[in-house]
Amino acid sequence: MRKTRRRPYSEQRPRDLGGGVSSVPVPIPGNPLGYTLVYAVDSPRGPVLVDAGWHHPDAWEALRGGLGALGIDVTTVQGVVVTHFHPDHAGLAGRVREVSGAWIAMHEADAALVRLMRGFADGDHRGFQADMLRRAGAGPGDMVAVSADRPRAPTQPDRELGDGDLIDLPGRELRAVHTPGHTPGHICLHLVDAGRLFTGDHVLPDITPHVGVYPYDRDDVDPLGDFLDSLDRVGELGPLDGLPAHEWTFPDVAARAAEIRRHHEEKLVRLAALLAERAEPLTIWEVAAMMTWNRPWADLSPVPRSMAAGEAAAHLRALEASGRIRRVSGLDTVRFQALES
């Protein structure tokens, strides 16, 4: 059931949330998410931003103008803490640094990914994707289209954060909480002195974030397992007010985190049952086509389809990691099968 609070970007306004915290909606052109909520946290030395928004001239105008409407001159920004490397969060961080001299901070695991992406040529990227799709059992039509339209690599941060690190924000206590899953270096930011948690994409009030494995057949990581642990992690911080990067602010992060955890647990149970009904092992593509998405699999265009496959792969990997299914290797295409009971 859809809640009624979803409103388009055009109805969003910069807001003073009290306690020296404000939010600015920054549009994501052409994306159904609509906007990123960029937060500004005051300090005697100047504001620190949590995330920065998508790299686009309209987004930059919205950020600069929105901060201005709240009495904040973007040139006075001291720093940008990025919750994770995705372009709707890190995209404008470099631009903010250019005009203000602000530092950019990011978790060390995402900073390492940014280094990797910046060193990755377009040709390498296409080859990597084609191999990954082939091993997952994708058809030739999916191969060509997915490689197009890649956003530019994010700016390298000046500061790398670890779990529990205090953000440089004089007079306030803002701590990084490592919450891997959506990305390996995703962080939430706990404003300890105000009982608030900037949740990035980790916990959103209505939708659940994308959690995928790339390449799809990697067996040395378990992003969904990490994500579920990270939901427990923020639940243990107590009943905090949620300040997410999309949608709207919400009370009680712990309750919402528990709800998201249940959603994935149910999905895992259904997926295990689906594999148990089949005699033959299934490819990641076959499994993805059988799972429930926001639109029928046949109607998904290549990019959402490749993300759905990543999500299917993350669920398969979590089931494998917890000993509930097995991987059939040896052939070029990886397949998964229920354990004999």
Enumerate binding residues for Zn ion (CB under 5 A): 86, 88, 201
Cβ atoms of 29 and 58 within 8 Å: the answer is yes
Q: Catalogue the E-assigned strands of the chain.
A: 15-16, 21-27, 35-41, 48-50, 79-81, 103-107, 159-161, 174-178, 187-191, 196-200, 241-244, 282-283, 325-328, 335-338
Q: Residue 181 Cβ, how far from Zn ion at the closest point, in Å?
A: 11
109 or 143: CB nearest Zn ion: 109
- Using CB positions, name the residue nearest to Zn ion: 86
Q: Residue 87 Cβ, how far from Zn ion at the closest point, in Å?
A: 9
48 or 52: CB nearest Zn ion: 52
Distance of alpha carbon 204 from alpha carbon 257, whole angstroms: 9
Distance of alpha carbon 254 from alpha carbon 199, whole angstroms: 11
Q: Residue 106 Cβ, how far from Zn ion at the closest point, in Å?
A: 13
82 or 102: CB nearest Zn ion: 82
Instruction: Tell which residue, 217, 211, 223, 181, has the closest CA to residue 308.
Output: 211
22 or 208: CB nearest Zn ion: 208
Q: Residue 33 Cβ, how far from Zn ion at the closest point, in Å?
A: 6
Q: Residue 171 Cβ, how far from Zn ion at the closest point, in Å?
A: 29
66 or 154: CB nearest Zn ion: 154
Report CA-CA distances (Å) from 322 to 137, 202, 286, 339: 24, 22, 21, 12
